Structure 1
């Protein structure tokens, strides 16, 4: 199964594409869709059209999107929600199923700790996908979202890494 993970943002939307095999994950691609300052409709169009191109190129079977968290600034939360809506629209226009995950769920699935720091998530993404280098933070968040979906709520036990969880840590 091919999964497209999306970390929505109005300035930078991260994406990550992985394949889930029987007992392993394989990295396909990741990156960011960046918008420039300008009219909101133009920025949303850019997010949606770029994600549609990514969908056409990689042909994912499913899409996983990070849910919006309520920010201190309501305006920022609304703008983030609109970017997220553009990402979801890109997926549904291609008849793809969309699953949504909170940051807590993603961190729990990837690191084993729902309150993990971003650098811990990024390190686990590198480990789980056997990456030679470090993806950018937005791309890493999108890959983490895809990994969370691939785990299907079963945690790391379904992925053969030669590692196991003990007291919330990989050993």
Structure 2
């Protein structure tokens, strides 16, 4: 499938691997893929949606610091009287900053496998490309997949006012010229 990826889409996947290695993750997840967009020079498609790379990075770090919990997860737990911010603070006091951020990998560089969710994102990007009629997988198809699949990456995009229909409109506008 990677032979269908454009140079930009491959760069996002490579950046995802680099980000996972930087933070010591044992696996590449959809947030790592989304982080690849946050590192893109000029912002690419996200910039066209009114979001800067630094906005993406900041939102990912906020969610990752909470162990991947979305705002809706935090809100639901608050309904049961659980203060996630307080829990994160206590865990970080006991175990250090970013203790819930999903590190814990071996620290080795090299091959880092994809999570099932990241694999599903890559598969869905192929489906998005085929739905649009493209014979390649570009950054737009990866972003469509990230926005379409439930999980922390879609939650981050939603916090930035980006959803699947908004990405689809931006892709269609871009294709139209």
Q: Where is the strand percentage greater, Structure 1 or Structure 2?
A: 1
Q: TM-score, normalised by structure 1?
A: 0.25
Q: Rg: which structure is higher? A: 2
Q: TM-score, normalised by structure 2?
A: 0.24
